[in-house]
Chain A
Amino acid sequence: MAAHEQFADDLALYALDALDGSQKAALEQHVETCGACSRELESLRGDMALLALAASGPHPPQRSRDRLLSALAVERPAAAPERTGAGSGGWFGRLGWMAAALLFIAGAVLMKDAKEQSAALQREIAGLQTKTAAQDAERERVRSEFAEFAGPGAQPVTLVVAKNRPQPQGKAIYVQSSGKLLFVASDLPAVPDDKAYELWLLPSTGNPVPAGVFRPDARGSGVVVNPPLNAGVSAKGFAITVEPKQGSAAPTTKPVMVGLVS
């Protein structure tokens, strides 16, 4: 081993969390900058594991296994909120009810895993079933409209700001086979009255394709739903630029947000 000899004993104690006082602080500082001692620390922790192996004993009761599996089942739906913050806060207050409904569903589908997207979408849809007949019809329309966004062909893309600005964020879900696109953004800076944000589909080959123009509301939120895009266009990512209010055929400014398909 090539660990520094003067730290050797302390490393063993540190691995066991048995070092205290100023020696602990000094060692931590050293290990941060010493690869040899850091590797030796990992090896000493491995030696600890050998001690653990010696602690053989009875097996855990069956109820522990049952308890864990029950907890997994409970945690499964709880995993959804950690994937996006779209379902929190004042989003619903910032947009009209239709946009809120879209975002509600979008919040559920903006996930990395298509299966979970589908499950979350179904849960949200189930929650709408208590609405009136008119709302049911509307829900059905929304459900069918967004079903593809939860399918295996949907590509979730996260767009983030390049600089340390106040954390604007955009989420795009794109279905290549049909050309359908859902995009929601939050905390975008305001643009001048004669300007707007324009969303661009960045094809695998060729020039950026216009994918909708929008102006953020007073709180910086914006939505683009199914802009006129040709089906089957392979996207390598999406971007946003500031353009004249009516939009541009090609970007005229540098992107303020970019997200690549993972």
Chain B
Amino acid sequence: MASALGQNAQDGAPEVKAGGGEASDLSLVARVRARDESAMAALYDRYSSLVYAVALRVLGDTGAAEDVLQEIFLQLWRKPSAFDAARGSMGAWLSVIARNRSIDALRKRKPETDIEDVVLSVETNFAHNADRGRALLKIREVLGKMAAPQRSALEMAFFEGLTHTEIAEKTGEPLGTIKTRIRAGLLSLRAAVAG
């Protein structure tokens, strides 16, 4: 399979309009909790391209990706308290939700994960273009060096939503090998961004 991770290098990081002088995610979420639609619009402007890119990559259909985009930001509007700022980046949180919801849509199943159940921890602040740009460079470098079978296993799990059993069947590799490759792939990303 051709690598989809790290594709669109010519596009650069999705545009993020948060700058140093703009409202923080936390303050915007606080305003959303007070039903401030302009704050919701600001969060959308900041993260919609990230969410949409993930949804489009998984679903391969602009209409379906727009539906996921809409659903996720409506969920955020309805449950802004679901975002745990103590865990870090809202962008990371939204991107994982986008991936999960897109996989649900891909498999034509009801959403299985409530946004309140998505708890993650990440150091990278996706709110700022500079941070995201730096992280993206490192991620692409790691992915570029990653062995094709490992990258493929990651792609199948992340973008296609396949289980390790399905990946093993598809590739003919042992289950244990698939497990190890996926974990090692994720850890190499973590190490690259942390370094």
Please give the residue numbers on chain A whose beta carbons come within 8 Å of chain B beta carbons, in ascending order.
8-13, 15-21, 39, 42-61, 63-65, 67-69, 71-73, 75-76, 79, 113, 115-116
Partner of B48, one of A21, A65, A76: A65
Q: How far is the CA of A100 from the CA of B132 in the complex (A)?
A: 56
Contact between chains at A76 and B120 (CB < 8 Å): no
Contact between chains at A42 and B35 (CB < 8 Å): no
Contact between chains at B182 and A53 (CB < 8 Å): no
The tally of residues in B whose CB lies under 8 Å from a CB in A reads 80
A-B contacts, 28 of them at CB < 8 A, read A8-B183, A11-B183, A12-B179, A13-B182, A19-B164, A43-B120, A43-B122, A43-B190, A45-B118, A45-B121, A46-B123, A48-B120, A49-B93, A50-B92, A50-B139, A52-B92, A53-B13, A55-B53, A56-B7, A56-B53, A57-B11, A59-B15, A64-B52, A68-B40, A69-B40, A71-B70, A76-B35, A115-B35
Contact between chains at A72 and B183 (CB < 8 Å): no
Contact between chains at B179 and A54 (CB < 8 Å): no
Which residues of chain A come closer than 8 Å to B127, judged between CB atoms? none
Nearest CB in chain A: distance from B65 CB, A:
8
CB contact under 8 A between A47 and B179, given known A18-B163, A19-B164, A53-B13? no
Tell me if B115 is interfacial: C-beta within 8 Å of chain A: no
Q: 4 smallest A-B Cβ distances: which pairs?
A: A46-B122, A45-B120, A49-B92, A52-B95
Q: How far is the CA of A106 from the CA of B179 in the complex (A)?
A: 58
Tell me if B105 is interfacial: C-beta within 8 Å of chain A: no
Contact between chains at A50 and B66 (CB < 8 Å): no
Q: Mark B171-193, 1 if CB is under 8 A from A, else 0.
A: 00000100110110011011001
Partner of B89, one of A12, A49, A58, A69: A49
Which residues of chain A come closer than 8 Å to B54, judged between CB atoms? 52, 55
Residue of A nearest to B89 (CB): A49
Residue of B nearest to A67 (CB): B70
Instruction: For the A-B complex with A52-B158, A53-B132 known, give 12 more contacts whose Cβ atoms are closer than 8 Å.
Output: A45-B121, A48-B99, A48-B186, A52-B54, A55-B54, A57-B53, A60-B48, A60-B49, A65-B41, A65-B44, A79-B35, A116-B35
